[in-house]
Structure 1
Amino acid sequence: MATLADPIRIGEKLKLKNRFATAPMYRCFGVDDGFVRQEYIDSYAAEARGGPGLVCVANTAVSASGVAFRRLTRIDDDKYVAGLADVANAIHLADAKAAIQLFHGGMICRPEYIGGQPPVTPSVLPLLGGAKTRALSDAEIEQIIEDFGQGARRAAEAGYDAVNVHACHGGLVHEFMSPLYNKREDKWGMDRTLFARRVIQSIREHTDADFPIVWRFSAEEYNGVDGYDFDYALNTLVPAFLKAGVDCLDVSTGSVMNVVALAHLDPPVYFKPGILVDYAAAVKQRYPNVPVMTVGKLNEPRATDDIISSGKADLIALGRQVIADPDYPRKVLARQHDDIRRCMSCNWCLLTAFWQMQSVKCAVNPGYGKERDYYEIRKAARPKRIIVAGGGPAGMEFARVAVQRGHEVVLYEKQDRLGGLVNLASSFPHLRTRDLRNVVIYLRGQLEKLGVPVILGQEVTPALIEKEKPDVLIVATGSQPNWPNIPGVLNPMVVHYEEYLRGNATIGERVVVVGGVEGAEVAVSLALQGKEVYLIEKSGNVTKGPYLLDPVRCQMLVDEYIPKTGVKLRLHQKVVEIGNGRVVTLDRDGRQEMYSADSVVVTCGRLPNELLKEALEHKVPELYAIGDCRQPRSIGWATHEAAHWARYV
């Protein structure tokens, strides 16, 4: 029976020290001209120090026409070899093997990153906004195949131990394999495995015969009847890959054509951990002699151990989890489970890198991408006495860092437990959001380990500050519910969504939810409970707000959960009156609507809790407000503010 600590070979040449690998996940850490920069090197060095057997450098474009994103690194010219070699060297210095992903974005490419030209694809495909892709000519296809081979040659010259080919998630190699994207009538369409096989052949021709090839593919597209399913992948695609000479199968799923496909590419908080493991297990069962890698929300240490010991897969690939905690492999192997920052699948990393085209940010690990400044917590020049008011993520993260800098820290929380609003956000009765509490579990455990005094059930007041006379007051008092100014809002049938999440509210069978964002999740949870639910939002977007930042999560609500649970969504309607058994609204044209209701749940945003800050500003030597008491926003902004000020004080 294999374990996570056991070595494994990929091909004849590559021996890994354990069963952990990092997944090739785009981070937007390069430079616009395709070169690497120091942050790029530092982040991969940190991941390598964390103890995986293999570190895979993410999407690296093999052709100028394949640059999909801003700051994407490139390997289509010899001038890039030196910088990529610096990355490989940093990985090797930390005793890990290095692979690099060869990538062509195909239809994913944005025109602004490929010289203003339309993206190239096997067949002409429609894009958002009415634009179209351009179908590749036969000569262009041959050139891109050559580009993959040349990219592999440069990877070997840069010192990489293997290549990982991006044949998934809507990239060009994937497109050639898919009947949805590839409608050609020539040889490239008659045999949809031909392009992939020729890419593998080209890599073999440009490198040593035993140079390892890891093949990352989508085992299922989730593109409906026009795409391919797992049966096609298992019985047609995988045999073609193996016959052509790949050494390891990296099993992912998903694409970019719809929200379900996107959700299976990077599973959101609503999905259970290890949701893609069964695909890898089926591949492993069919092809037992080939190393198989699994990926996708693998953030539970004991579960990853079981995946290997049960033979479902040979390797665990960590994407978001290794951003949340680069030391995850080392901590798992050392059984230091309580010290692990577990990813909470909020997908802030994807929002910042893929959607906003900024350097990736992690909500639970503010230090990711700032390794030179944040990795080592430096002692303060002058230790101070600090009181932290509030035990949500902001207050806890500040206390965790500040006490390690040598400050004397006491944290007060007026509730009977730490966690703040996360305790509610992770507690929807019938919608899976529990992974959000991972940040609380980690921070609470670290405060206990560090011996930080935590006083629960006591609110920080001006009198307390006058008595204790701290050098620094950190105000992390969070936010408070925003009660709308609606006639009848104090009717007994009206409850705030917080009371529903706490389990303190009796909800009738017919429910009107007033307000989107949190309201969208409340409505879905109530509908899954069997309630008849109307969701009323005065704007045209039911998910636009400071908390729901994950585009996939938002679209899952709008396109999947709201319609499929039977929630009746009413946009551009303003609630003007709440009476006994009814809710009255006006639309944009002044038309009145009336809805029968046994209960009304109000979710109209939140307001910063500024009372303590206003009472004590200029009355203590130093006062800093962090988190929602400054401005209600996401968990990530709270922890990042806390991490910044804890290093400043």
Structure 2
Amino acid sequence: MTTHPFPHLLSPLQAGAHTLPNRTLMGSMHTGIEHLDRPAQRLAAFYAERARGGAGLIATGGFAMNSEARLDEHGPMLVTPEQAEALRPIANAVHAEGGKIVLQVLHTGRYGKVANLVGASGIPSPINRRVPRPLASEEVWRTIEDYVRCAELAMHAGFDGVEVMGSEGYFINQFTTTRCNDRTDEFGGSVENRHRLPVEIVRRTRERLGEKALVMYRISALDLVEGGAPADEIVALARSLEAAGADIINTGFGWHEAKVPTIAYLVPRAAFRAAGARIKRALRIPLILSNRINTPDVAEDIIASGDADMVSMARPFLADADFVRKAAAGRADAINTCIACNQACLDFIFNNKPTSCLVNPRAGRELEFAQMPPPAARRRVAVVGAGAAGLAFAVTAAERGHGVTLFEAAPQIGGQLNLARAVPGKSEFDELLRYFRTRIADLGVDLKVSAQPSAADLAAGRFDRVVVATGVKPRQPDIAGIDHPKVIGYADLLSGRRGAGQRVAIIGAGGIGFDVAEYLLHDEADPAGALATPEAAVLKFHAEWGVDLANGSAGGLRPPRPASPSRSVTLLQRKPQKPGATLGLTTGWALRARLDQLGLKTIAGCSYERIDDAGLHLRVNGQPMVLEVDTVVVCAGQESESRLATELRAHGVEPAVIGGAQVAAELDALRAIDQGTRLAMTL
């Protein structure tokens, strides 16, 4: 008898009247695809590819049930039969692939960027300057009916059911807690009253839709805000929702205004598992666990332990639509793993761009990539440089049938990715390199490491095309004493070739400078290797960020216990503005907060004069200063390594130049992988 490599993850699950083929949910996420041309066709292709790849259940991004509920003035709504018909191709496409899909019904409440903002009370969110208008009691009942009507329309459009979004601090969540509910009517005050809104939505939705519809509710299992719900209220709500007719409970963690990261790379895998397990023990219906679950082995362990019946993975299905299919085939090594960087998913959404994925540029662009014609002929291609751009190009070109030889000067692939993976919290880059190594082997790419072909060799006629992906080299600033023994470059530090002293100055406060600060302070904060096991990493994270998984206090918070590193680190930049402005929108705040905890000092508006035995001499606002440091780490940007491209042109060969070799802007793996992939698609 054949056994699956992940027997619990891949076993079927009964949820109400529906039998799900496995225990994976592609969780809901904002995609921004709704704002593009042909949105239904694009979403149909997007979700169908995930259904074809084996997702057990799919939840769409949120749809508002009335104009007050939208995230912004252009947010997607489902309020008319015509809108339902327009969505029918999405459900049909998923069903054609054998999948199941529910539509998420979302009211953003006080988070909305709309003119007619409403909420439980007139208490604004700290992340939205707009003040909500409290809904009158009869308006709340009308909104409940709007939820039910939206669910009816979803079924009319062919969806298998709905997910009622009651987590992350949105509208329903705002009613369930005292943080932003000061009402005195039947929707405020007592726990029963504050739970009336979600319970009535689920009860009436079940009554209206009947037993065949899948009704899923996403509960906030840990609010992570002051005035949030304590554990007993969360469990009580889950039980009431079960009694009201919910088929399955999904979990969310942390309101959007919470000051604790919940999905960024800084968060250990399955960091909130225990909070979900507490709810699971109180229910008879299935429970789904979410947040930072990105590999089948982690998912298998969660389900096998009984902590949850199912796992939600949103971004992992962006990274690899075939996640489940590969796991079932025993090819977990071939999964393109989500690295929790947020750069092309959440950061894109906050910049009003449709979502995609750093490690998989095809995500969200399925129609665009499908329209690229197959290659007219097989080409022999040389790729020089196995960093992010070179790897993406080599693998994609080989997938399209070209013969690829990949040269790398170092003994291993990865280029600057090997520096990134040394930064605490960014070890997920190990997964990306594992993926590329697997694809290189599976596709038969001729990999030559410790190899530096000359321009003459490449121009000798063996190759039809030469791609230069030689990356970057660190820029050396013009500072007197830059060759002093206490000066080291970031590459030497992160590669482990050189170490740093106890008093360190970092020149340059871009992304690399902050990564170096994290590397230096983390080294001191964890001298005994407390992160050696996943369990220890989770406990350390909870202590540093003040997370109370027992949730005895409202909101699941306790006083944080940050580490106390002995190393002193000062981060410097020439620009007068506050350092860290260029960090990622949805991860930068957490990194800055963590480094503040660890005692990082920052100085802006610097001019550097010299480095000598006394330390780093500089001026700040015209005033002289000496930093008495043992080490000066230079993170002053990069320059393109373009010598090979110039030499090739001298030999009459016009190469394609990609990645850092073309533009030396930070360590931009997002741009490099996208560029390498797209060039290979046009070859």
- Please confirm whether the aligned pair reaches a TM-score higher than 0.5, indicating the same fold: yes
**d(CA) in 1 for partners of 2:435, 2:7:** 29
**Alpha-carbon offset, residue 413 of structure 1:** 0.7
- The equivalences for 1:393-404 within 5 A come to 393-404=388-399
Match in the other structure for 2:628: 596
**Alpha-carbon offset, residue 423 of structure 1:** 0.6
Asked if 1:482 is matched to 2:475, the reply is yes
User: Could you tell me whether the CA contact under 8 Å between 2:648 and 2:654 is conserved in 1?
Assistant: no
**d(CA) in 2 for partners of 1:340, 1:378:** 25
Asked if 1:5 is matched to 2:10, the reply is yes
Deviates more, 1:472-481 or 1:504-513: 504-513
- The equivalences for 1:2-81 within 5 A come to 3-11=8-16, 13-31=17-35, 36-69=39-72, 72-81=75-84
Match in the other structure for 2:216: 214
- The equivalences for 1:4-403 within 5 A come to 4-11=9-16, 13-31=17-35, 36-69=39-72, 72-111=75-114, 116-118=115-117, 120-126=119-125, 130-190=129-189, 191-209=193-211, 211-223=213-225, 225-234=226-235, 236-260=236-260, 263-264=261-262, 267-287=263-283, 289-374=284-369, 379-403=374-398
**d(CA) in 1 for partners of 2:298, 2:512:** 30
| Residue identity matched to 2:659 | G
Deviates more, 1:239-248 or 1:302-311: 239-248
- The equivalences for 1:548-563 within 5 A come to 548=583, 550-558=584-592, 560-563=593-596
Match in the other structure for 1:542: 579
| Residue identity matched to 1:552 | T
- SS at the partner of 1:406? coil
**Alpha-carbon offset, residue 403 of structure 1:** 2.1
User: Could you tell me whether the CA contact under 8 Å between 2:394 and 2:680 is conserved in 1?
Assistant: yes
RMSD: 2.2
User: Could you tell me whether the CA contact under 8 Å between 2:339 and 2:429 is conserved in 1?
Assistant: yes
Match in the other structure for 1:412: 407
User: Could you tell me whether the CA contact under 8 Å between 1:125 and 1:134 is conserved in 2?
Assistant: no
Deviates more, 1:533-542 or 1:323-332: 533-542
Structure 1's unaligned 5+ residue stretches are: none
Structure 2's unaligned 5+ residue stretches are: 1-5, 525-564
| Residue identity matched to 1:644 | R
**Alpha-carbon offset, residue 312 of structure 1:** 1.4
**d(CA) in 2 for partners of 1:209, 1:506:** 64
- SS at the partner of 1:601? strand
**d(CA) in 2 for partners of 1:325, 1:128:** 32
- The equivalences for 1:365-514 within 5 A come to 365-374=360-369, 379-428=374-423, 431-514=424-507
User: Could you tell me whether the CA contact under 8 Å between 1:574 and 1:586 is conserved in 2?
Assistant: yes
**d(CA) in 2 for partners of 1:71, 1:277:** 35
1:412-444 Cα shifts (integer Å, max 9, x gaps): 11111101100110112xx22100232221112
**Alpha-carbon offset, residue 117 of structure 1:** 3.7
**d(CA) in 2 for partners of 1:350, 1:65:** 25
Q: 1:106 to 1:125 in 2, by over 3 A?
A: same
**d(CA) in 2 for partners of 1:346, 1:21:** 21
Q: 1:380 to 1:618 in 2, by over 3 A?
A: farther
**d(CA) in 2 for partners of 1:2, 1:406:** 35
| Residue identity matched to 2:255 | S
**Alpha-carbon offset, residue 237 of structure 1:** 2.6
**Alpha-carbon offset, residue 538 of structure 1:** 2.6
User: Could you tell me whether the CA contact under 8 Å between 1:471 and 1:622 is conserved in 2?
Assistant: no
User: Could you tell me whether the CA contact under 8 Å between 1:413 and 1:455 is conserved in 2?
Assistant: yes
Q: 1:226 to 1:455 in 2, by over 3 A?
A: same
**d(CA) in 2 for partners of 1:640, 1:620:** 28
1:549-606 Cα shifts (integer Å, max 9, x gaps): x323211121x2111111122233333322213222322x312232211111111222
Q: 1:392 to 1:229 in 2, by over 3 A?
A: farther
User: Could you tell me whether the CA contact under 8 Å between 1:108 and 1:119 is conserved in 2?
Assistant: no
| Residue identity matched to 2:12 | P
1:342-397 Cα shifts (integer Å, max 9, x gaps): 11111123345421121112111111122234369864212222111100121111
User: Could you tell me whether the CA contact under 8 Å between 1:197 and 1:240 is conserved in 2?
Assistant: yes
User: Could you tell me whether the CA contact under 8 Å between 1:471 and 1:621 is conserved in 2?
Assistant: no
Asked if 1:579 is matched to 2:615, the reply is no
**d(CA) in 2 for partners of 1:158, 1:512:** 60
1:118-143 Cα shifts (integer Å, max 9, x gaps): 45453331555854232222232222
1:481-535 Cα shifts (integer Å, max 9, x gaps): 0122222221111111111111121311111122112111221332231311112
Could you say which structure has the greater relative contact order, defined with CA pairs below 8 angstroms and 6 or more residues apart?
A: 2
